[in-house]
Amino acid sequence: MDCWNSGNRFRAPPERLHPTRCSGRLRENRRMSGSAHLASGSKVPGHPPYPPLRTAHWRGLDIIGRGANRVCTRNPESPLTLLKFELPDDQRPPARGRLRLARWWARHFPRSGENHTELAACRYLRRRWGIEVQRHFSLCERIQATPWGDALVCRAVFDDDGQLARSVFACLQAPPQAGEGLVDALCAAVDDLEQWLLQRCIPLFDLNAGNLVVVHETNGLRLVCVDAKSVLRGKEIIPVSYWSKSLLRRKIRRRAQRLRQRIRASLATPGPLAEPASGH
């Protein structure tokens, strides 16, 4: 299970569990240095802590991973697809301000929720760039009513050994191989994704370790985005980075650089992991 904060790993003081309480500057510093995350027991800097999911199952389904808003599980009806469910509020990090309003809105208008947003983003990518988009995006198929709730059905990404691809986050938590080789290979894969996005001006701004899974290929690693929401919906009040190509490119470069820094910082940090990621 690739839970960014599974189990009871996070026993941080309240201010660490409420990143939105920090001032903007402090929050940014923490994000860059990863101190909040490291202090709360995770080896991978830069992720906000989430309320723990205490088991490897969610409503009886096998969990593959979780993000801030959704849990991703196996699909009992098809091994080639996965299901994503929007988590109830008490299983998400606390929200204030615009985020809180967005959640309230999505509760009343589900079409503005995460699953519908990601489905719309995938359809847009597919329409605009055709089949080639599958090199770096795992596409979603539909929203489906299931016995466990409404789910987004998305294609699973497999590694060359036939196993589900692990997220960059999981690789940083429990690296498959030691040393510089992995850092270089992951950073090269980030470079490759960055160039690919820049060439097409695709506004994938949420370039974080949990949104990218790693596929091994003969000539290196390839990153595949499993969370395309940010292609359509950003965090800016006035979304200028979506309107201007030069701002878009600058932002992609910044985000890719930040991800490379996180990869280097995580794999350079000596010492045991708080708790190895189990399964995926």
Ligand X SMILES: Nc1ncnc2c1ncn2[C@@H]1O[C@H](COP(=O)(O)OP(=O)(O)O)[C@@H](O)[C@H]1O
Residues at the site binding ligand X, with contacts judged by CB under 6 A? 2, 64-70, 72, 82, 84, 114, 138, 154, 156-157, 164-165, 167, 210-211, 213, 226-227
Query: 70: which residues sit within 8 A by CB, 6+ positions away?
Result: 84, 85, 86, 87, 114, 115, 152
Judged by CB under 5 A, which stretch of 12-20, 67-75, 110-118, 191-199 contacts Mg ion?
Answer: 67-75
Residue 166 or 260: which CB sits closer to ligand X?
166
Among 81, 167, 211, 241, the residue binding Mg ion under the rule CB under 5 A is 211
Size of site (CB under 5 A) for Mg ion = 3
Distance of closest approach, residue 199 Cβ to ligand X, in angstroms = 23
- Write out the H or E segment, with its range, that includes residue 197: helix 180-200
Q: What does residue 148 show for φ and ψ, rounded to 5 degrees? A: -100, 0
Residue 36 or 87: which CB sits closer to ligand X?
87
Single-letter amino acid, residue 57: H
**42: partner contacted, choices ligand X, Mg ion, none (Cβ within 5-8 A by kind):** none
**17: partner contacted, choices ligand X, Mg ion, none (Cβ within 5-8 A by kind):** none
Distance of closest approach, residue 3 Cβ to Mg ion, in angstroms = 12
Q: What does residue 180 show for φ and ψ, rounded to 5 degrees? A: -60, -30
Query: 227: which residues sit within 8 A by CB, 6+ positions away?
Result: 67, 118, 206, 210, 211
Distance of closest approach, residue 25 Cβ to ligand X, in angstroms = 25
**30: partner contacted, choices ligand X, Mg ion, none (Cβ within 5-8 A by kind):** none
Contact indicator for 125, 53 with CB cutoff of 8 Å: no
Distance of closest approach, residue 275 Cβ to Mg ion, in angstroms = 21
**167: partner contacted, choices ligand X, Mg ion, none (Cβ within 5-8 A by kind):** ligand X
Contact indicator for 226, 212 with CB cutoff of 8 Å: yes
Structure tokens at 61: 């389904």
CB count within 10 Å of CB 114 equals 23
Query: 145: which residues sit within 8 A by CB, 6+ positions away?
Result: none
65 binds Mg ion (CB under 5 A): no
- Write out the H or E segment, with its range, that includes residue 149: strand 149-155
Judged by CB under 5 A, which stretch of 16-24, 63-71, 104-112, 246-254 contacts Mg ion?
Answer: 63-71
Q: What DSSP string describes 162-178?
A: SSBPEEHHHHHHS-SS-
Spell out, one character per residue from 227 to 266, where the chain touches Mg ion: x when CB under 5 A holds, - when not: x---------------------------------------
**117: partner contacted, choices Mg ion, ligand X, none (Cβ within 5-8 A by kind):** none
Distance of closest approach, residue 154 Cβ to ligand X, in angstroms = 5
Residue 226 or 263: which CB sits closer to ligand X?
226
**226: partner contacted, choices Mg ion, ligand X, none (Cβ within 5-8 A by kind):** ligand X
> Helix, strand, coil proportions of the chain in percent (round to 5)?
45, 20, 40
Per CB under 5 A, residues contacting Mg ion are 67, 211, 227
